[in-house]
Every structure is written in C-alpha cells, then in structure tokens.
Amino acid sequence: MKIYDRRRFLRDTGMSGMALGLSSWIQSNPKLVDAGRIGIIGLDTSHSIAFTKALNTGNPPDKYRGFRIVAAYPNGSADIESSTKRIPGYIEEVKKMGVEIVDSIAALLKKVDFVLLETNDGRPHLQQALEVMKAGKPLFIDKPVAGTLTDAIALYSLSEKLKVPFFSSSSLRYMESAQEAASGNVGKILGADCFSPATLEPTHPDLFWYGIHGIETLYTVMGTGCQSVTRTQTEGTDVAVGVWEDGRIGTFRGTRTGKHEYGGTAYGEKGPITLGPYKGYDNLLDRIIAFFKTGNLPITPKETLEIYTFMEAADESKRKGGKSIQLKDVYDIHLKKANKIIQQLNLPS
C-alpha cells in the first residue's frame, strides 16, 4: 500500500497520486459529463438549501443545465445544537424542491452520480466520504473537510487509493476580488491581512469551524509555502500570523464580537487590493459543477492540506502560549496517525 510521506507532500503540486487517481477516473469516463444526478449528505447547513435552490428551482443558467439534486440523506450531530435544530425545516424545504429523502448513504448512492457532502460536523466526513468513494462517486466535501488534520490527510490518501477525486473549499475562495488578486492583477502578492468570523465549536479544532473562511481567503491570495504560525487569542478575537518560506507574512484575524464581516487586504507589487465583499455561494457552485463535468480539481490537495495544517499549528501555538510553530512538525505528527488509520481499514492493494 502506498502511503504519503512528508517529502512528497511538500514537493508535489497537488500530489502525484491524486493526479493518478483523477487520470484513472477520466479514462473510465472519457467524455465530458453534461448532466448528472446529485445527492446531498447532510441537511444541517444553509449551503444545502442554497445549492438546491440554484439547481432545482426557476430556470437554471445553461452552466447548470442537466444537473439536479435528486436525493438527500439528512444526517446530523446530536451534540451540536446548531446541527440538529435545522434538519426538520431543511427537510421540508428540499422536499418542496423535488428532492427525495432517503434513510442512508447506501440508499442515496443508488440514486445519484455525484455527491455533495454537506454535513456541518467535520468528524463523520472520513467515514461518510469513504462510503462514497467505495461506490466510485466523485464528491465535493464542504468545510471543514474533516474534524481533524489526521482525518484530512487520510481522506486524500483514500482518494488516491480508491482513485475517486474530490475537493473541498470555503466559498470565500471564490470572491471576485480574491480571484483577481490570485490571478496576478496587482502583481506578486507581497503579503495579506484577512478576516472573518471565528466562532468556536468545542468538538472541533478552533479555526476549523468558522475561521476556515478567512484562512482560505488568505491562502487564495498568498498561495502555499507557509513555514510557521504564531497565534494570539482573547475572548473575542484570534490573530494568527504566518511566515512564508520566501519571507512574506500573512495574517488572519478572527472575530467573535461585533458585526460579522468577511474580507481583507492583499498587498501586491502594483499596490493593495481590497478583498470583498462576499456575495454568496454561486461562484463556488460554478466550480463544483465544472468539477463534476470535467473531473478537473479547482484546488490542489496540497493547498487544502496546508490550510488545515496552518489551522492545527495555530491551535498548537495557542496551547504553547503563542510560541511559533513549524507547519512541517505538525504535519508529520498527523501523517503518522493518518497512516495508521489507512492501514487499519485493510483496503485491497
């Protein structure tokens, strides 16, 4: 069994193994897909409702035509109140939009070609995604990609092993201004300061739950290559400062008081650019449907894993009183744990 090592993680763009899995999937589906039945796992997030409305109601734009959400497995987490209280109302909403409610992931997979894994709780994502991958269904995994960095690494290893592609992203990645900065319109990005709400959920690493939005914005404009993180926390605010390998500095400010907003500033060679405003989920849905059509990943596994390593390193910095933490050290610890998970699954070679 092939298992990732850290040198490959740092060296490969998007991981060569993931490219192999994607290539295999495309070879078995040589024509571009122009239609598909989509299933949802998890009706405890507003994302599920937003995606269903965009695809199933009114007169969808041509770019969505042929793709429809046909079934949903509600799923929820009893120990997260915000999860369980939404489900009854969301079930009724999607049923009105023509979505069949099923009682298991297995039942869902019999009815669909693609999957949106929308469960708000990242902890069950590994097991849920494994069931989908075993069925050979490409999927999008909403934030957080997993409940731990260990599970996130294991997910990408399984994607390689089973040759089933997926990607995960916050919708904040696809703000027009963030994409403009990332495309080089203001020259090389010399640094960035990004912010978002950072409400906490005791069942998850601090920044996985909501700080992911601002940190994904930060990575969208800065790219990969962060070496170390330091974090300062008060009751109402988090500040995480990352130092990139080329000396650039990127900061994330997470807020828990006052009006919640998303945005920031990227400092380009040609001058600064304001990041924001955030306008909703449509740009992310565009990438999801394009991925279902082509199999092309809009974000590399390498970048997503570094984002989650950044957030886990920020937690470690908090535990150590604001000490600077090396990302590679954090990744190594969780890589070993992920490898044990993969080995225990006893998947065929």
pLDDT digits (tens, 9 = 90+) for 4-20: 343 343 343 333 334 33
Q: What is the mean pLDDT of the segment spanning 45-70?
A: 96
Q: Does pLDDT of 219 surpass 50?
A: yes
CA distance 88 to 129: 23
Q: What is the pLDDT of residue 163?
A: 95
Q: What is the mean pLDDT of the segment spanning 88-103?
A: 98
Tell me the CA end-to-end span of the chain in Å, nearest whole number.
6
What is the overall mean pLDDT for the chain? 91
Q: What is the mean pLDDT of the segment spanning 288-317?
A: 97
Where helices occur in 97-136 by DSSP H, the ranges are 105-109, 125-134
Number of neighbouring beta carbons within 10 Å of residue 98? 12
**pLDDT single digits (tens) 100-156:** 999 999 999 999 999 999 999 999 999 999 999 999 999 999 999 999 999 999 999
Q: What is the mean pLDDT of the segment spanning 231-242?
A: 98
Residue 223 backbone class (left: φ over 0; alpha: ψ -120 to 50; beta: rest): left
Q: What is the mean pLDDT of the segment spanning 53-76?
A: 95
Q: Does pLDDT of 317 surpass 70?
A: yes
CA distance 222 to 53: 33
Nearest to 79 by CA among 130, 147, 139: 147
- With a CB cutoff of 8 Å and minimum separation 6, the contacts of 240 are 207, 215, 229, 230, 231, 251, 252, 254, 310, 314, 317
CA distance 39 to 139: 9
Number of neighbouring beta carbons within 10 Å of residue 265? 18
CA distance 337 to 178: 34
Nearest to 261 by CA among 211, 207, 195: 195
Per-residue pLDDT band for 281 (boundaries 50, 70, 90) equals very high
Q: Does pLDDT of 80 surpass 50?
A: yes
Q: Does pLDDT of 26 surpass 80?
A: no
Per CATH, domain 6-170+333-345 is 1.10.3130.10: no
